[in-house]
Chain A
Amino acid sequence: KQEVTQIPAALSVPEGENLVLNCSFTDSAIYNLQWFRQDPGKGLTSLLLIQSSQREQTSGRLNASLDKSSGRSTLYIAASQPGDSATYLCAVRPENSGNTPLVFGKGTRLSVIA
Chain B
Amino acid sequence: NAGVTQTPKFRVLKTGQSMTLLCAQDMNHEYMYWYRQDPGMGLRLIHYSVGEGTTAKGEVPDGYNVSRLKKQNFLLGLESAAPSQTSVYFCASRHQQGYGKNIQYFGAGTRLSVL
Contact = CB atoms under 8 A, between A and B. Distances in A.
Interface stretch (A20-28, A64-72, A78-86, A100-108): A100-108
B62 to A, nearest CB: 17
A99 interface: yes
A43 B105 CA distance: 9
B108 to A, nearest CB: 5
B97 A104 contact: no
Interface string B86-97: 000010100011
A23 B108 CA distance: 24
Contacts of B101: 49
Contacts of B20: none
Contacts of A31: 97
Interface string B31-58: 1010000001111010010100000101
Given A41-B109, A43-B107, 20 more contacts: A34-B103, A43-B90, A44-B43, A44-B92, A44-B106, A45-B106, A46-B103, A46-B104, A49-B101, A89-B42, A89-B43, A91-B104, A93-B102, A97-B97, A98-B96, A98-B97, A99-B56, A101-B48, A104-B43, A107-B42
Interface of A: 31-32, 34, 36, 41-46, 49, 89, 91, 93, 97-99, 101-102, 104-107
26 contacts: A34-B103, A34-B104, A36-B106, A42-B109, A43-B106, A44-B43, A44-B90, A44-B92, A45-B106, A46-B103, A49-B101, A49-B102, A49-B103, A89-B43, A91-B104, A93-B102, A98-B97, A98-B98, A99-B31, A99-B97, A101-B33, A101-B45, A101-B48, A101-B58, A102-B104, A105-B42
